[in-house]
Amino acid sequence: KMTLKKICCIGAGYVGGPSCAVIASKCPAIQVTVVDLSEERIKQWNSDHLPLYEPGLDDVVKSCRGRNLTFSTDIDTAIQEADLIFICVNTPTKNFGIGKGRAADLKYIEAAARRIADVSKSSKIVVEKSTVPVKAAQSISNILQANVKPGVKYQVLSNPEFLAEGTAVNDVLDPDRVLIGGEKNSLGKEAIEALCWIYEHWIPREKIIVMNTWSSELSKLAANAFLAQRISSINAISAICEATGADVSEVANAIGTDSRIGSKFLKASVGFGGSCFQKDVLNLVYLCECLNLPEAAAYWQQVVDINDYQRQRFANRVVESLFNTVTDKNITILGFAFKKDTGDTRESAAIYLSKYLMDEEARLRIYDPKVEKSQILRELTHPCISEDPSRVSKLVTIHQDPYEAAEGSHALIVCTEWDEFKTLDYHKIYQKMLKPAFIFDGRIILDHEALIEIGFHVETIGKRLSRKPVHRSIAPSTQ
């Protein structure tokens, strides 16, 4: 059986960092080097302030950094010394040219493959961990073979990553399964065995699924499309709930107890965010279009369209509830990350909600426990969000404290399901706000009855809430 002494990971991001830190901690005999073009990122990985927040990550990194885990910008040396190379670079949606807005931009994958081909002096197993369109492994292989040096052999495997942010360390430590796609010939099988050997340090063999490369690549896109589809499905149901008086949480619970459906990923929300779902569904849509399968493309496109609709619908409800105008009103946004327990804001619903409210000239007071101020401003001044970035400095303030953020606000919107938002002192917040004080719970995490009792006007996703009359003398309570 082939054993590996040194491995290298190209791309020190949300996937490369946590997954290779866990590999290093579970495989003390393997030297793991994580490399990146970004000096800044590598500097942070080598510091006490890691470039990303993930529960448990600090401990894993500290336990093996300097032992068998290294972060470096010396990409060439790391490639030359490695027996196996993970490619974990970003594959964002193309924002130009052919496939603009849908296709994955494979330039970073290709650059990594060319670098491997240019500098390698010995044989390598090249593992594609980034999420890619089907047949990307073929392109990597073609680039490597076209530039191969004498005596060097390459095997390309697909090994998509299923970790979710906020739970990345646990997901890598205890995955539902590991997928490995490779060739069925003897060299292919040998490479697959070598990669299996790494994972078998902590994952039972039964959980490692081996398949052909194209199935493996497609399985990743399909898994994310199915997960995103569940959220869009329940969000589409939430619109019906709001129009009828049904309660989406009750409906989700009812359908989720059917073991064929299952209870996970049925939480209605202001819309899914994150760097993966929209990108990967669009990637699948584009793949369908290229394969001349327009009906399949239209089917998956709806998953993204419903998500856009959900965000816009929620923003409309905010404006409508605030007497159809939010111009110059102070609106507190609680949570800017795309989900709790991460500082990542990529494609966060909060960005779009902020955009819609800024378009209405609302004044936003934003608080998030983990997202840096500069990061929020970077998102909001992006050309896709603000045509005129100077408006952001006029309309937006960032706060370090939720109570301070709520000061003098007309409304408060929960955009991220941070646990700490459940236990804020809403009596105190109510005192600080203008009246009538509105709360919009975009994550269905607050105790709505208790908030109504305090005096708030409460709106949430997928449920109509009864409210206390504002002027008791004119409309006495029927209790």
Would you tell me which residues interact with ligand UDX (CB under 6 A)? Answer: 161-165, 224, 227, 231, 265-267, 269, 272-274, 276-277, 338-339
Point out the catalytic residue in the list 276, 329, 347, 370. 276
CB of 163 or CB of 228, closer to ligand NAD: 163
Q: Does 36 bind ligand NAD (CB under 6 A)?
A: yes
Among 220, 339, 340, 355, the one annotated catalytic:
220
**Separation of alpha carbons 447 and 421, rounded Å:** 11
Contacting ligand NAD (CB under 6 A), which of 25, 159, 275, 345?
275
Q: If binding is defined by CB under 6 A, does position 165 make contact with ligand NAD?
A: yes
Q: Which region among 108-116, 329-337, 374-382, 384-392 touches ligand NAD (by CB under 6 A)?
A: 108-116
136 binding ligand NAD? (CB under 6 A): no
Q: Which stretch binds ligand NAD (CB under 6 A): 6-14, 305-313, 329-337, 374-382?
A: 6-14
83/344 with CB nearer ligand UDX: 344
Number of residues that bind ligand NAD (CB under 6 A): 27
Residues 40-69, one symbol each (x = binds ligand NAD by CB under 6 A, - = not), give -x----------------------------
The only residue of 54, 105, 128, 161 in contact with ligand NAD, by rule CB under 6 A: 161
Instruction: Tell me: does residue 88 bind ligand NAD (CB under 6 A).
Output: yes
Residue 149 annotated in active site: no
Least separation, in Å, of the C-beta of 277 and ligand UDX?
Answer: 6
**What's the token pair of residue 266?**
């049925």
- Cβ pair 334, 412 in contact under 8 A: yes
**Should residue 11 be labelled a site residue for ligand NAD when binding is judged by CB under 6 A?**
yes
Q: Cα torsion for 319, 325, 327, 328, to the nearest 10°? A: -90
- Residue 409 binds which entry of ligand NAD, ligand UDX, none, CB below 5-8 Å type-dependent: none
Q: Which of residues 320-359 bind ligand NAD (CB under 6 A)?
A: none
State whether the Cα torsion 9-10-14-17 is positive or negative.
positive
Name which position in 8, 12, 282, 445 contacts ligand NAD (CB under 6 A). 12
Judge whether 276 counts as a catalytic residue: yes
Q: Is 15 in the site for ligand NAD (CB under 6 A)?
A: yes
Which of 9, 13, 33, 445: binder of ligand NAD (CB under 6 A)? 13
Binds 265, which of ligand NAD, ligand UDX, none (CB < 5 to 8 A, cut-off by type)? Answer: ligand UDX
10 lies in the site for ligand NAD, by CB under 6 A? yes
Residue 461 interacts, among ligand UDX, ligand NAD, none and using kind-specific CB cut-offs from 5 to 8 Å, with none
**Least Cβ distance, residue 344 to ligand UDX (angstroms):** 8
90 binds ligand NAD (CB under 6 A): yes
Residue that the structure tokens 């569904």 belong to = 281
* Residue with the CB atom nearest ligand NAD in the bound state: 13
Mark 324-335 as b/e (b = at least 16 C-beta within 10 Å).
eebeebbbbbbb
* Residue 165 or 360 having the CB closest to ligand NAD: 165
Nearer to ligand NAD, 39 or 401 (CB): 39
Among 33, 91, 278, 386, binds ligand NAD (CB under 6 A): 91
Q: Give the 3-state secondary structure of the chain.
A: CCCCCEEEEECCCCCHHHHHHHHHHHCCCCEEEEECCCHHHHHHHCCCCCCCCCCCHHHHHHHHECCCEEEECCHHHHHHHCCEEEECCCCCECCCCCCCCCCECCHHHHHHHHHHHHHCCCCEEEEECCCCCCCHHHHHHHHHHHCCCCCCCEEEEECCCCCCCCCHHHHHHCCCCEEEEECCCHHHHHHHHHHHHHHCCCCCHHHEEEEEHHHHHHHHHHHHHHHHHHHHHHHHHHHHHHHHCCCHHHHHHHHHCCCCCCCCCCCCCCCCCCCCHHHHHHHHHHHHHHCCCHHHHHHHHHHHHHHHHHHHHHHHHHHHHCCCCCCCCEEEEECCCCCCCCCCCCCCHHHHHHHHHHHCCCEEEEECCCCCHHHHHHHHCCCCCCCCCHHHHHHEEEECCHHHHHCCCCEEEECCCCHHHHHCCHHHHHHHCCCCCEEEECCCCCCHHHHHHHCCEEEECCECCCCCCCCCCCCCCCC
Based on CB atoms, which residue is closest to ligand UDX, 143 or 282? 282
- Cα Rg of the chain, angstroms: 25
When asked if residue 130 is in the footprint of ligand NAD (CB under 6 A), the reply is yes
Active site residues: 161, 220, 276
What does the binding site for ligand NAD look like in residue numbers (CB under 6 A)?
A: 10-16, 35-38, 41, 75, 88-91, 108, 111-112, 130-131, 161, 163, 165, 275-276
